[in-house]
Amino acid sequence: MSFDALQSLFVIGCSHHQTPLEVRERLALSKAEISELQDTIKTVPGIRECLVLGTCNRFEIYGIADAPSIAAHICEHLCQHRKIDAEIFSHYSYQVSNLEVLQHAFEVASGLDSQMIGETEILGQMKDAYAAAKAANCTGVILNRLFEKSFQAAKAARTQTNITKGQVSVGNVAVDLAGRIFGTLSRSRVLLLGSGEVGELTAQALKSRGVTDITVSSRTFAHAQGLAEKFDGETLPFEDFAAQLEQFDIIISSTAAPGSILSPNTIEATLKPRPERPFFLIDLAMPRDIDPAVERIENVYLYNLDDLSAIANQNLAQRKGEITKARKLLKAQAWLLWLQLRRRTLAK
């Protein structure tokens, strides 16, 4: 009797959809641990090909076995290896097989299955996992084809639908707005006021998009120094920041001050020597650090946490509208690949 590899193609996994953080934490593996687990799975009798994918929101084992029942052995093996109760794992995990594996892999690669729909980081993580598994000879004809096609499908979904359009995190929305104001950000000077977490994330997002000059000013000097070191930036004494404002293009404010620390008069005085240069103010504090009246000043663009969240939610809603379109496209591609793989396995 000839072996039909596709009848035992499987994925076992846990993701942010149905697995609580506590369980996902148990499955959070380092690269070395993933590699070790992958090698171990490959030695399980009946396993022909395998690949382990581990990200902060997802843990998945892709494989091809001689018989469908072998997937259950892999689950047992994994629970023993990670010391997880088999019942708990079974409750929070999912298992798909055959054609559904292709559809699932395509959706994961294109970011449709991600917590932040349409994000592209997962594609890089899948490529890394595939490269590592291929280098370790854990993948073969079927998984190689499946993953290579997944990357192509992800690209098609990105270009033919709008699932990646619009940023959905506050930091990235701020970066997009900065791009609309300044174009390239490499020459923009950023002042981070306070050491709030959202402010730090926003500064991080700006840095990742080319900002090289970040100065931190906080009432607690140690906090400012810590953050400045993180961003390879400078520190500025909090009592001096108002006098130095004109040197900066982007101000991110997230202090714990009880009232406004930037008034329209301060901003007007700041703009006087540089009226042609725009001023982007991001107020992430609660209560607000910047007087809303500042918004009326020419060439000043003020966005607070609510404004940024509203844009992020709007973008997310638009992305969700694109899911059906992308899913339809990926389903057709998965079906096409399924037929190709079936033809190939039957021809052998």
Partner 1 sequence: MFEGIALTDRGALAVGACIYLSAFLFGLISLQLRKHYSRTIVLGLIAGGFALQTVGLNLRGIHVGGCPLGNSFELTQFIGWSVVLLYLIIGPIFRLRLLGFFCAGLATLLSAVSLMIPSWDQAYPINPAGGNPWVELHAALAIFSYGFFAMVALVSIMFLIQQHGLKKKQTGSIYHYLPSIQQLDQMGYRLILAGVLCLTAALAFGAVFYAENKELVPVFKLTVTCLVWIGYSSVAILRQQRKLVTRRHALSAIALFAFALLSLWPIQSASSQQDAPTTAPRQE
Q: How far is the CB of 22 from partner 1 (least distance, A)?
A: 37
Residue 303 in the binding site for partner 1 (CB under 8 A): yes
Tokens at 66, concatenated: 């001689």
Piece in contact with partner 1 (CB under 8 A), picked from 128-136, 302-310, 326-334, 339-347: 302-310
Taking CB under 8 A as the criterion, the residue among 39, 66, 246, 307 binding partner 1 is: 307
Contacts 24+ apart (CB under 8 A), 310-316: 311/166, 311/167, 311/173, 311/177, 312/167, 312/168, 312/169, 312/170, 312/173, 314/166, 315/165, 315/166, 315/167, 315/168, 315/173, 316/117, 316/166, 316/168
Note whether 174 and 211 are within 8 A (CB): no
Which residues are identified as catalytic? 56
- Between residues 155 and 277, which has the closer beta carbon with respect to partner 1? 277
Residue 118 in the binding site for partner 1 (CB under 8 A): no
- Between residues 8 and 304, which has the closer beta carbon with respect to partner 1? 304
Taking CB under 8 A as the criterion, the residue among 80, 90, 299, 324 binding partner 1 is: 299
CA atoms within 13 A on the CB side of 309: 6
Residue 277 in the binding site for partner 1 (CB under 8 A): yes
- Residue 326 exposed, middle or buried by CB count within 10 Å (0-12, 13-18, 19+): buried
Residue 278 in the binding site for partner 1 (CB under 8 A): yes
Taking CB under 8 A as the criterion, the residue among 20, 68, 275, 292 binding partner 1 is: 275
Tokens at 96, concatenated: 């798909």
Secondary structure (3-state) at 214: strand
Tokens at 344, concatenated: 């190939």
- Between residues 105 and 206, which has the closer beta carbon with respect to partner 1? 206
Q: How far is the CB of 152 from partner 1 (least distance, A)?
A: 18
Please work out, in degrees rounded to the nearest 5, the angle formed at the alpha carbon of residue 120 by the alpha carbons of 100 and 309: 115
- Between residues 15 and 164, which has the closer beta carbon with respect to partner 1? 164
Sheet holding 279-283, edge to edge: 234-235, 213-217, 189-193, 250-253, 279-283, 300-304
Site residues (CB under 8 A) for partner 1, limited to 158-197: 159, 162, 165-166, 177, 179-183
Q: How far is the CB of 298 from partner 1 (least distance, A)?
A: 6
- Between residues 218 and 304, which has the closer beta carbon with respect to partner 1? 304
Note whether 207 and 178 are within 8 A (CB): no
Piece in contact with partner 1 (CB under 8 A), picked from 68-76, 120-128, 239-247, 292-300: 292-300
Residue 246 in the binding site for partner 1 (CB under 8 A): no
Piece in contact with partner 1 (CB under 8 A), picked from 39-47, 135-143, 210-218, 311-319: 311-319
CA distance 99 to 336: 10
Residues that bind partner 1 (CB under 8 A): 159, 162, 165-166, 177, 179-183, 275-278, 295, 298-299, 301, 303, 307, 310-311, 314-315
